Amino acid sequence: MQAPATAATATAVPFDQYNPSEEHLMLRRTVHDFAEREVEPQALESDRSETFNRALFNRAGELGLLAITVPEAWGGAGLDATAAVIMAEEICWSDPGLGISVLAHGTLFVHNLYTNGNDEQRARFLPKTVTGEKLAGLCMTEPDSGTDVLGMKTRAVRDGDVYKLTGRKMFITNGYVDAGESGGRHETGDCYIVYAKTGDEISSFVVEKGMPGFSLGQRLKDKTGLRASTTAELVFDDVPVPLANRLGEEGDSTIHMMRNLELERLVIAAMSLGMARRCLEIMNRYASERKAYGKPINSFGQIQRHIAESYTEYMVGRSFVYELAHKIQLDKPGHRMETDAAKLFTATMAKNVADRAMQVLGGYGYFGESVVERLWRAAKLNEIGGGTLEAHHKNITRDLARHPEAIR
């Protein structure tokens, strides 16, 4: 006799944690379509020529990808952390160079300013940054301090309604743009959130292009990967920054920084997922088509190991990142250790998957046209940027010692 259908069995729809709603699925399709049709055709050439494709970046703005987590009332898409993950995964499936520019602009500046700024600052800075008309970034790292972020030397000293900000910031994504039609001249992007010491505490300020004393120190060329994004050293020489450009209260920004790093690390983990998935797709297809000794190479055990391990590690990373994205509430911190762990795992996973893909493709994999060569170079960055592997080891171990119950 058949059991009567219960309410649960009658209405059960399999839950798709990677596309938990119709809106997420639509977003994935839209971004993937954008990646295939518009991003992919330029990805190799932009990487080779170290060209930041501003028109394409602005197109990402038109699609709402530069302010995905900002409420619609402020011009954003009003979506959640899962949407930010979907977007980063799909863009980086094609072009992590464009992906890191979108991350630096949309997560490190736009989301940060929305979260930590006041309404007057939102009204001043968001309209032109959510569209991409103005190019933005975040300045945390310095020539002498990266991991040791609290050791920063940049200082802001208050003088009435102005702070005088002095220091240098290193490795800043979106740090410069070509100026002028004929090229050859370069200048800073339009606005940056800059972390600086005010006494013993850290505060953050929006520094805008054209402020006296703010300049492009050096363009940092010849990166290993992600060459379609710009990276620069920026110089601040007694820059008069109005009090109205300080985010939050003086000394508040260690909290801002930690809170924003959670979303940053989650999005970087999603970038790794996108690169790994593309490499897996390519190696899987190639191994079914390429023959050696009269057989497809996927009939050989060693090639099977490359493919099977890559798939397994990718799926573990994917499950972790999406489960975490589902838990994260954008207005509340509380997932520091898990976001460190997700980035720690996925960074090395993507690097290894790209490496195996190159191995499976043999000589063809060693050339740019294979795509895996470009992703192999790009994947390494995530073991360094946004926190090195060692920084994640340190943070996770410290947090676990404090909260052993988190293991359960």
For residue 49, give every residue at least 6 positions away whose Cβ sits within 8 Å of its Cβ, in sequence order, or none: none
Q: Residue 261: which of 131, 346, 405, 140 has the closest Cα?
A: 140
- We find the least distance from the C-beta atom of residue 122 to ligand FAD, in angstroms, to be 21
Consecutive H or E run containing 291 = strand 291-292
Q: Report in angstroms how near the CB of residue 236 gets to ligand FAD at its nearest.
A: 13
Contact (CB, 8 A) for 189 and 177? yes
Is residue 383 flagged as an active site residue? Answer: no
Least Å distance, CB 402 to ligand FAD, is 17
Residues 238-257 that bind ligand FAD (CB under 6 A): none
Q: Do residues 177 and 54 make contact, with C-beta atoms less than 8 angstroms apart?
A: yes
Nearest C-alpha neighbor of 303 from the set 264, 251, 361? 361
Q: Which residues are bridge partners to 207 per DSSP?
A: 192
As a whole number of angstroms, the distance between CA 318 and CA 159 comes to 49
Among 94, 188, 231, 260, binds ligand FAD (CB under 6 A): 231
Indicate the residue among 139 and 280 with the shorter CB distance to ligand FAD. 139
Residue 170: CA count within 13 A, CB half-sphere: 11
Collapsed DSSP state (helix, strand, coil) of residue 70: coil
- Taking the least distance from each CB to ligand FAD, the nearer of 257 and 325 is 257
Query: What's the min distance (Å) between Cβ of 206 and ligand FAD?
Result: 15
Q: How far is the CB of 340 from ligand FAD (least distance, A)?
A: 13
The C-alpha angle 21, 22, 23, rounded to 5 degrees, equals 85
CB of 389 to ligand FAD, least distance (A): 7
Which of 109, 171, 176, 214 touches ligand FAD (CB under 6 A)?
A: 171
Q: Would you call 41 helix, strand, or coil by DSSP?
A: helix
Which residue lies nearer to ligand FAD by CB, 365 or 385? 385
Cα-flanking dihedrals φ and ψ of residue 197, to 5°? -80, 135
Encoded one letter per residue, x for contact with ligand FAD by CB under 6 A and - for no contact, window 378-407 reads ---x--xxxxx-xx--x-------------
Binders in 289-328 for ligand FAD, by CB under 6 A? none
Taking CB positions, which residue lies at the least distance from ligand FAD? Answer: 146
Please identify which residue in the block is written with the tokens 């997560």: 107
Q: Is 104 among the residues that bind ligand FAD (CB under 6 A)?
A: yes
Residue 180: other Cβ atoms inside 10 A: 9
Q: Which stretch binds ligand FAD (CB under 6 A): 11-19, 23-31, 132-140, 279-287?
A: 132-140
Specify whether the CB–CB gap between 112 and 260 falls below 8 A: yes
223 versus 278: smaller Cβ distance to ligand FAD: 223
CB nearer ligand FAD, residue 24 or residue 343? 343
Q: Which residues of 55-88 are buried (b: 16+ CB within 10 A; e: fewer)?
A: ebbebbbebbbbbbbbeeebbbbbbbbbbbbbbb
Q: Smaller CB distance to ligand FAD: residue 285 or 393?
A: 393
Unique residue bearing structure tokens 């993507």? 350
Least distance from ligand FAD to the Cβ atom of residue 146, Å: 2
- Number of residues near ligand FAD (by CB under 6 A): 23
Given 38, 89, 90, 264, the catalytic residue: 264
Q: What is the DSSP letter of 62?
A: H
Are 66 and 31 a contacting pair, CB within 8 Å? Answer: no
* Residue span binding ligand FAD (CB under 6 A) among the ranges 8-16, 65-73, 77-85, 168-176: 168-176
> Which C-beta is closer to ligand FAD: that of 81 or that of 139?
139
Q: Find out whether 72 and 78 touch, Cβ atoms under 8 Å.
A: yes
Of 122, 223, 256, 380, the residue at the interface with ligand FAD (CB under 6 A) is: 223
Binding track, positions 136-165, relative to ligand FAD; x by CB under 6 A: -xxxxx----xx------------------
Q: Which spans of this chain sit near ligand FAD (rule: CB under 6 A)? A: 104, 137-141, 146-147, 171-173, 223, 226, 231, 381, 384-388, 390-391, 394
Which residues does the annotation mark as catalytic? 264
